[in-house]
Amino acid sequence: MSFVVTLADAADAGTVGGKAASLGELARTGVSVPPGFAVTTEAFTAAMEVIDADGALRAGIEGLPAGDVAEIARVAGRFRGIVAGAPLPSEVAAAIEAGYAALGGTPNVGDVGDVAGVAGVAGVAGVAVRSSATVEDSADASFAGLQDTYLGVSGAASVLEHVRRCLASMYNDESVAYRRRLGLPEAGVAMAVVVQRMVAPRAAGVMFTRSPVTGDRSVVAIEGTWGLGSALVSGDVTPDSWVISKITSEITGRRVSPKVKVHRYLPKGSAASPAPSPGSPAGQHALEGSPGGARVIVADTPADLREAPCLSDDEIRALAAVGHQVEAHYGAAQDIEWALLDGEAEPGARIVLLQSRPETVWAARDAKPAGAPKARAADHVLSLFGKPL
């Protein structure tokens, strides 16, 4: 029984979850991915055999009415607290501790996509702990944002705690409600967890390989901000945005927004400013991390950067090229999380991908027929305009 696998070996979504399987596949295609490991669904199963041996708690989740928000919150909250508070089985905890030690104990981890030598990849003390459910990141369902991610976690005890929190986030209210709306059986879902080295990017954000607004397949849409992409996800900033033609690489649209806050990762022992340029901005406060260790802070963006684009045109085109490469690999439009490291290397060498999943909104619309078939061709065409003969 394997409770931990490196991202180099993360392939089966049923074993490592959708996020880890995608990261492993990206790394094997030659895309830079921060090194790490996956805590497998076998670890989740082992934990559930202790917490919910007879399956009664999960049966209670499956029996919840999809529209009863209050009852979902009550039942899911109780289950979540039990999972987060229960110690992991000793053999699972030992495997996670060994994986964390291996990730930090060797400067040049022999994992595909290892970017440890690139400026901007944080030292071994800090990791991101990210949920990776078996039903997420598929073409049929999107659980983006419904389960937990923790940044700047350091120390084995803290890693174990945050792994438990990620396992518990399988029972976040929104995640349970979504599964109930889809009618997914609880026996068919499980949680894996990704543990990856933290990156300290100059800028980060999201990228769609078709327009999220119009569905146009001929463009790549990019959104970004200074520092960590968590500023964008949390709504602390309105991101810069660009539209790039896949055909000509021309930047056909751009919007630079005032970015008043920045999320910045500080490795353990670091006293550096969280701002993307020299200076000590006011209004700093800790967002996440381990006491006395690595942490993520929120700070005011320096005045000279607030209305400056977080990416150069060369960096924008390099990101679009990577997005096009990933889309070609999967054969479908992608929703991608990216980070751009600092340094003097060419832009393409400083791009790190943190996730790629199928775009689902426009894909779902494409799958629907334009209209119900009619007996006569003319009626079928005219019915689309609401004027049948």
Q: Assess whether pLDDT exceeds 90 at residue 378.
A: no
Q: Assess whether pLDDT exceeds 80 at residue 386.
A: no
For residues 119-142, give the mean pLDDT: 68
Structure confidence at residue 384 (pLDDT): 57
- d(CA 48, CA 88) in angstroms, rounded, equals 10
pLDDT tens readout for residues 280-295: 333 445 555 555 455 8
The answer to whether 24 touches 9, Cβ cutoff 8 Å, is yes
Cα diameter, the chain: 75
- Beta-carbon contacts of 149 under 8 Å, excluding residues fewer than 6 positions away, are 128, 129, 130, 131, 166
For residues 302-307, give the mean pLDDT: 96
Q: Which pLDDT band holds residue 137 (cuts at 50, 70, 90)? A: low
More confident residue, 361 or 221: 221
Structure confidence at residue 236 (pLDDT): 93
Residue 196 has which token pair?
A: 């990856």
Q: Assess whether pLDDT exceeds 50 at residue 245.
A: yes
- d(CA 295, CA 278) in angstroms, rounded, equals 19
CA-nearest of 13, 6, 160 to 86 is 160
Q: Assess whether pLDDT exceeds 70 at residue 116.
A: no
Q: Assess whether pLDDT exceeds 50 at residue 119.
A: no
The answer to whether 36 touches 197, Cβ cutoff 8 Å, is yes
Distances (CA, A) of 163 to 80, 81, 286: 13, 14, 21
- d(CA 264, CA 294) in angstroms, rounded, equals 11
Q: Assess whether pLDDT exceeds 70 at residue 248.
A: yes
CA-nearest of 1, 227, 194 to 111 is 194
Lowest mean pLDDT among 124-128, 209-213, 275-279: 275-279
Q: Which pLDDT band holds residue 74 (cuts at 50, 70, 90)? A: very high
More confident residue, 79 or 115: 79
pLDDT tens readout for residues 293-303: 558 899 999 99
Structure confidence at residue 188 (pLDDT): 79
- d(CA 240, CA 262) in angstroms, rounded, equals 13
Number of H helices, E strands in the chain: 12, 14
- d(CA 14, CA 10) in angstroms, rounded, equals 10
Structure confidence at residue 277 (pLDDT): 37
Q: What percent of the chain has pLDDT over 90?
A: 70
For residues 358-379, give the mean pLDDT: 70
For residues 247-260, give the mean pLDDT: 97
CA-nearest of 209, 147, 153, 128 to 18 is 147
Q: Assess whether pLDDT exceeds 50 at residue 261.
A: yes
For residues 347-373, give the mean pLDDT: 82
Return the SS3 of 125. Answer: coil
Structure confidence at residue 117 (pLDDT): 39
- d(CA 344, CA 120) in angstroms, rounded, equals 11
Residue 238 has which token pair?
A: 């309105």
Beta bridge partners of 168: none
Q: Which pLDDT band holds residue 146 (cuts at 50, 70, 90)? A: confident
Residue located via tokens 């334009």: 370
- d(CA 165, CA 121) in angstroms, rounded, equals 25
Structure confidence at residue 273 (pLDDT): 39
